[in-house]
């Protein structure tokens, strides 16, 4: 029976994310994670079976946090408005937490990712799918497969985020509107 000191786990997660930002997933060493988190090497193994499990836990937790940051409870609003809000909060979240973004991006192609986490729905996945379905029913979104529409939205979102982060640009109202307009023109009926 482990008390599971949540503070310690948070410190470990934060250490993983911070270090990934500076040295990448491949440069992560358990010793460094432990030092950064302020615990002993061995302690990592009282909370996680091994490195793989630790990183997958971080991934899983970030995914959940990401969805929460992006999806608010405004399911009653019109589809386009909801999409806009989602677009805005996604951009803000991704750009504000570049270290987390880097971790996610690196982890997805790392040898550590588990089958379970591979299957984990895309960040905006399920929520987006329902939204797009509604849009198609309302005939304001093209009657195309969700995969295609989602590829456009998330692909563009990731690339644009990377561009903003790499150039140290802020997420202004103008940038949100401008980029959303592009997406919308693509998918609108």
Closest approach, Cβ 64 to a second copy, in A, equals 22
Does the CA dihedral 108-161-170-183 come out positive or negative? negative
Q: Which two tokens stand for residue 123?
A: 């960040």
141 is a contact residue toward a second copy (CB under 8 A): no
List, in sequence order, every residue forming a beta bridge with 188; answer none if it has no partner: 141
Q: Which of 53, 99, 142, 165 binds a second copy (CB under 8 A)?
A: 142
Q: For the range 25-31, what are the long-range contacts, defined as Cβ-Cβ under 8 Å and sequence gap of 24 or more?
A: 25/55, 25/103, 25/106, 25/107, 25/110, 25/112, 26/106, 26/110, 28/55
Closest approach, Cβ 56 to DNA, in A, equals 12
77 is a contact residue toward DNA (CB under 7 A): no
Closest approach, Cβ 134 to a second copy, in A, equals 19
Closest approach, Cβ 105 to DNA, in A, equals 19
- Residues in 25-64 that interact with DNA by CB under 7 A: 28-31, 39-47, 50-52
81 is a contact residue toward a second copy (CB under 8 A): no
Q: Which two tokens stand for residue 48?
A: 């996680």
Pick between residue 35 and residue 158 the one whose CB is nearest to a second copy.
158
Whose structure tokens read 């497969």? 145
147 is a contact residue toward a second copy (CB under 8 A): yes
The Cα–Cα gap between 107 and 90 comes to: 19
């Amino acid at each position: 029976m482990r008390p599971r000191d949540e503070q310690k786990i948070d410190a470990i997660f934060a250490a993983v994310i911070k270090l990934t930002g500076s040295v990448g997933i491949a440069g992560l060493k358990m010793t460094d994670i432990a030092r950064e988190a302020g615990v002993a090497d061995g302690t990592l193994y009282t909370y996680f079976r091994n490195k793989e499990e630790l990183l997958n836990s971080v991934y899983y937790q970030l995914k959940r946090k990401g969805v929460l940051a992006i999806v608010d409870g405004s399911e009653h609003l019109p589809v386009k408005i909801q999409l806009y809000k989602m677009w805005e909060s996604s951009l803000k979240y991704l750009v504000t937490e570049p270290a987390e973004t880097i971790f996610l991006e690196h982890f997805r192609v790392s040898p550590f990712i588990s089958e379970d986490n591979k299957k984990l729905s895309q960040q905006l996945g399920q929520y987006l799918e329902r939204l797009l379905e509604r849009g198609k029913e309302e005939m304001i979104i093209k009657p195309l497969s969700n995969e295609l529409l989602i590829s456009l939205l998330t692909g563009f979102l990731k690339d644009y985020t990377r561009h903003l982060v790499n150039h140290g640009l802020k997420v202004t109202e103008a940038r949100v509107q401008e980029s959303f307009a592009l997406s919308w023109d693509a998918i609108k009926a």
